[in-house]
Amino acid sequence: MTATIDALAAIVGAPHVLVHDLDAYANDWRKKYRGRPLAVVKPGSTEEVAAVVRLCHATGTAIVPQAGNTGLVGGGVPDASGAQVVVNVSRMNRVLAVDTTNNTMTVEAGCILQHLQETAAAHGRLFPLSLAAEGSCEIGGNISTNAGGVQVLRYGNTRELVLGLEVVLPSGEVWNGLKGLRKDNTGYDLKHLFIGAEGTLGIVTRAVVKLFPAPAATQTAFIGLGSAAGALRLLDHMKGALGERITAFELISAFSMNVLERFNPALRSPLAAPHAWYVLTDLADSRDALALAADVEAALGGALEAGIIDDVVLAKNEGEARRLWDLRETLPEAQIVDGRNIKHDVSIPISAIADFIAAVDAALEAAYPGVRPVNFGHVGDGNLHYNVTRPAAGYTEEAWMADESARVNRIVHDCVHRFNGSISAEHGLGQLKRDEIRRYKSETELGVMRAIKAALDPKGIMNPGKVI
């Protein structure tokens, strides 16, 4: 192993091969998976990545591609063998080009997402990918997990935002597909093999991403309503009245709001009375702010008159909008007030969301009387974060997580499958759901995935043990 480490140091320089104090690279964000890498290698260029991969290919050394390591399913974490090399792309963090006429930006895989947002804004453009970890996650990881976030409703997942890729294949060859084209009908669109593949087919090193004109005006509203079905009625109503100006449409349950208030009393609903459900929505337009505000007020006024919603608060300025979004973005952290919970990132056809929630709530209550779901998510695109907290009595946190996770997962995922949904909407499979997915994908589909993996990575060195 010393020879391998010395060879890696010869490629990237000794300071960029880490063999001590590796916790930040060996553990996932949730501290669920803990690995022990042989080394962490931090190349500074595509050429260095390719050379590292060629070395590992020749020696049969397993590679774990890694960017910001903010994933939630253990996809970027090595195993405990001490034999895997983590290839971390964080040093490759340059914006290489911004083309405001073509509305594209060419970037390296280690660029932090927030930096890309800020660079786009400095050029009068919008890069719409937005998620809670945007201050630390990196675009290579976003691409490899097909990250979603809050603006998928209008702009789509990462897959819809990528026009071209450069990828180092498991052999060490470099595929250069860095084309900023919206039309290229010349056979298989190879970039889609690597978007969402979680580093199992290669290492993304550069990308061409889409930009959009920066909106001239935005509006944020916080809404109280009586049911999840009402949220779907509201979404239909607002789409009819406001069209594609809706950029985000987030659903938050009453219990989730209660969790927030117990975590931080300042994080409370701005509405006068409590409600069974809440919606947080953002809208954007190329017109001036007064025109957008008038349209939004008219649409929500109509929803009040029709009995679709019970109450609403509109943000008067950017500061108020930020405080409303703090409610949603603090939720993942706030759940610690009740201890660890069993998390689910699921996707349901939008029309079935209310029925799904009712069905899975009832199934869990029957199995675990007093169970407490923390239910929130991007209902505008069908993505729910359905997290399950133990009943207030009867289970310790340790027993809940260790002994009940498999059964709770089965109840939730079986309901997802019954409603023609997906057990992973935006987090990926990683290690967490690698075996579980076999219950819900056909053998034909899994066989195609295995065939692609075998064709590109016959030695099986690229992120082994993940996805399939």
Please tell me whether residues 277 and 301 are part of one structural domain: yes
d(CA 468, CA 452): 11
Summarised one tens digit per residue, pLDDT across range 47-59 is 999 999 999 999 9
Based on the fold, state whether residues 331 and 344 are members of the same structural domain. Answer: no
- The Cα–Cα gap between 353 and 432 comes to 24
380 and 360, same structural domain? yes
Q: Which of 53, 88, 123 is the last residue of a domain?
A: 88
Q: What is the CATH number of the domain that holds 179?
A: 3.30.465.10
Is pLDDT of 71 > 90?
Answer: yes
Q: At 35, give phi and psi (nearest 5°).
A: -115, 180
pTM (two decimals): 0.93
% of residues, the chain, pLDDT over 70: 100
For residue 41, give the nearest of 70, 71, 7 by alpha carbon. Answer: 7
Does 330 lie in the same domain as 283? yes
Query: Is 115 part of a structural domain of the chain?
Result: yes
Domain that holds residue 266: 217-335
Are 125 and 54 in the same domain?
A: no
> Is the residue at 463 inside a domain?
no
| CA atoms of 293 and 374, how far apart (whole Å) | 32
Same domain, 351 and 435: yes
Span 178-193, pLDDT tens digits: 999 999 999 999 999 9
Structural domain ending residue among the three candidates 160, 181, 213: 213
For residues 431-442, b (16+ Cβ closer than 10 Å) or e, as one string? bbbbeebeebee
Q: Are residues 313 and 391 in the same domain?
A: no
CB 67 within 8 A of CB 463: no
Instruction: Assign 3-class secondary structure to 263-303.
Output: HCCCCCCCCCCCCCEEEEEEEEECCCHHHHHHHHHHHHHHH
- Higher-pLDDT residue of 286 and 324 is 324
Residue 2, pLDDT score: 84
Q: Please, are residues 88 and 44 in contact by the beta-carbon 8 Å criterion?
A: no
Report helix angle 318-334 to 254-263, nearest 10. 90
Q: Please check whether residue 38 is in contact with residue 5, taking contact to mean a CB–CB distance below 8 angstroms.
A: yes
Average pLDDT, the chain: 96
Do 253 and 328 lie in a common domain? yes
CATH number, domain with residue 371: 3.30.70.2740
DSSP single-letter state for residue 245: G
Is 330 a domain residue?
yes
CB 148, CB 131: distance < 8 Å: yes
The percent of residues above 90 in pLDDT, for the chain, comes to 95
E strand or H helix at 210: strand 203-210
> Which pLDDT value is given to residue 244?
92
464: in domain: no
Per-residue confidence (pLDDT) for residue 1, from 0 to 100: 63
* pLDDT tens for each residue of 224-275: 999 999 999 999 999 999 999 999 999 999 999 999 999 999 999 999 999 9
Rounded distance between C-alpha atoms, residue 425 and residue 299, angstroms: 30
Q: Look at the chain and report how many structural domains it folds into.
A: 4
Calpha distance 375→277 (Å, rounded)? 10
Residue 373 confidence (pLDDT) above 80: yes
For residue 361, being part of any structural domain is answered with yes
CA distance 28 to 198: 14
309 and 374 inside one domain: no
| Residue 10 and residue 81 in one domain | yes
What is the reported pLDDT for 52? 98
Q: Which residues contact 394 (CB under 8 A, 6 or more apart)?
A: 370
> For position 288, what pLDDT does the model report?
86
Q: Give the C-alpha separation, 68 to 395, whole Å.
A: 35
Instruction: Give residue for tokens 């759901």.
Output: 433
Predicted confidence at residue 10, as pLDDT, reads 97
Is 159 domain-assigned?
yes
CATH of the domain at 29: 3.30.43.10
Average pLDDT over residues 377-395: 94
100 and 161 inside one domain:
yes
**pLDDT single digits (tens) 301-326:** 999 999 999 999 999 999 999 999 99
* Residue 251: per-residue pLDDT: 97
Residue of 330, 311, 221, 305 whose CA lies nearest to 271: 311
Provide the Cα torsion 246, 248, 251, 256; round to 10°: -150
Does residue 453 form part of some domain? no
Quick check: is 449 in a domain?
no
* Residues 343, 330 share a domain: no
State the pLDDT at residue 293: 93
Return d(Cα 359, Cα 412) in angstroms, integer. Answer: 9
CA distances from 27 to 3, 83, 201, 395 (A): 25, 16, 22, 27
CATH for 255:
3.30.70.2190
What local confidence, expressed as pLDDT, does residue 132 receive? 86
User: What is the C-alpha separation between 374 and 63, in angstroms, rounded?
Assistant: 36
pLDDT in tens, 17-33: 999 999 999 998 888 89
- The pLDDT of residue 180 is 96
